[in-house]
DNA sequence: CGACATATTGAGATCCATCAACCAATGTGG
DNA sequence: CCACATTGGTTGATGGATCTCAATATGTCG
């Protein structure tokens, strides 16, 4: 799985200066304070957000309850995927959980840049593929693992997660109740 | 969600003759008998399979038990995604559930063709995006709906499914046991 | 210190899996 | 054309995992 991420990193590391310059030209650094929103429901996701430093989460409301769909750390890229691809209103919120430094890239400008710099188009495809594989893996976990195993897998992959993120968000990310998560943690 | 599929159909409908000819040149029609495998575990998925007519499923083995991850009908495209993208051995099987006519396209030839015909590259991205959105939606269902609602959603989206596919596969696709599915059906 | 968010713990209810028996339709070999 | 196996589906009893509601505890920060 991570071999694809390696491929992406390798690919970006080898980008020629012209392509990199073009990418920089359409990107802006921004800082979001803890609790602030990079994106809200019903807004169109017009930027991709590269998390330089900090923690963020993506979530939506279902029956008034927040369901966390993704957690972001350093070097992750955050978008509300269908809103970004289709440029339609987002069902999801993206929120900074700590003070977070972000490099945001404009959707429209990126589409234009892709036409001039084919490597950016290639990069776009690779990142989309990576996201699809990540989703497949997450689905696999929901399909085959119970709450305890999903939790163990999560802290195995991201040990630092428990120090930095409130349990409520982790529980909802794992698709279990806060109470169940608390009990799982009490046991082991 | 389906607006993206519309976009794809619209896009393919408008492809120029040169691009279409190139695509045809690297595609072959094949027929698989009911029960036969388009792809087995540990093989590399070197083709994409466009289902012209018939039904197929994708599944993997977990603890010796089959878990169905996707069901395919007319005009769906089947691949074992990570095996196809990374050209590494597949965890998944793809199997014809009826006699099935398929247009298969070679991975390597398609990569080459993409360089010559940018519209194929665009198409590749669009289809990958569509798959990611489909996965997001499926994850959403696992996250928010119980067995009954997942079943009702499935027959709402694909009413013909129950006439054509054994309950065992549908149950495992929904992430529930055969018995539970049977009881759900008995009720409503 | 007080106040509000965050986490733990307990008890009961609910969903669903598992195991096992059973049934109906279909196919096959003798 | 019958005896029997196979496949696909149903039904019942039981237990385990997890949710919900509610009470209590622990933080954390003004």
User: What's the average pLDDT block by block, 10 residues per block, for chain A (188 residues)?
Assistant: 78 91 95 93 97 94 92 94 97 94 97 95 97 97 95 92 90 96 90
Q: What is the largest CA-CA distance in chain B?
A: 56
pLDDT of residue A6: 83
Confidence band (pLDDT; 50, 70, 90) for B161?
confident
Sign for the pseudo-dihedral over CA of B151, B51, B77, B118 = negative
CA distance A93 to chain B (A): 15
Query: A80-94: b or e for each residue (b if 16 or more CB lie within 10 Å)?
Result: bbbbbbbeeebbbbb
pLDDT of residue A163: 83
Q: Taking 90 as the threshold, does the pLDDT of residue B71 lie above it?
A: yes
Residue A167, SS3 per DSSP:
helix
pLDDT of residue A188: 65
pLDDT of residue B151: 96
Q: Taking 80 as the threshold, does the pLDDT of residue B180 lie above it?
A: yes
For residues A148 and B160, which has the higher predicted lDDT (pLDDT)? A148
Sign for the pseudo-dihedral over CA of B27, B58, A135, B161 = positive
The residue-averaged pLDDT of B12-24 equals 92
From chain B, pick out residues whose CB is under 8 angstroms from the CB of A77: none
Give dist(CA A74, CA A53) in Å, integer. Answer: 5
- Chain C, protein-covered positions (CB within 7 A): 6-11, 15-20
- Quickly give A37 CA vs C9 C1' distance in Å: 34
pLDDT of residue A164: 81
Four-CA torsion B156, B8, A60, B141, nearest 10 degrees: 30
| Strand C at less than 7 A from CB of A186 | yes
The residue-averaged pLDDT of B132-155 equals 96
pLDDT of residue B177: 96
Q: Taking 70 as the threshold, does the pLDDT of residue B42 lie above it?
A: yes
pLDDT of residue A160: 87
């Amino acid at each position: 799985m991570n071999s694809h991420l390696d491929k992406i990193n390798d690919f970006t590391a080898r980008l020629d200066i012209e392509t990199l310059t073009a990418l920089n030209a359409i990107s802006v650094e921004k800082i979001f304070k803890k609790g602030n929103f990079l994106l809200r429901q019903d807004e169109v996701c017009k930027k991709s957000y590269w998390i330089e430093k900090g923690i963020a989460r993506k979530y939506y409301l279902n029956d008034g309850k927040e369901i966390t769909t993704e957690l972001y750390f350093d070097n992750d890229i955050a978008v509300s995927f269908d809103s970004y691809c289709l440029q339609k209103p987002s069902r999801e919120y993206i929120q900074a959980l700590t003070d977070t430094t972000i490099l945001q890239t404009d959707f429209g400008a990126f589409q234009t840049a892709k036409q001039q710099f084919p490597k950016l188009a290639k990069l776009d495809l690779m990142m989309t593929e990576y996201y699809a594989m990540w989703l497949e893996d997450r689905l696999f976990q929901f399909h085959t693992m119970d709450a305890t195993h999903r939790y163990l897998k999560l802290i195995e992959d991201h040990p630092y997660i428990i120090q930095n993120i409130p349990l409520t968000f982790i529980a909802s990310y794992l698709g279990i109740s806060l109470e169940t998560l608390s009990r799982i943690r009490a046991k082991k």
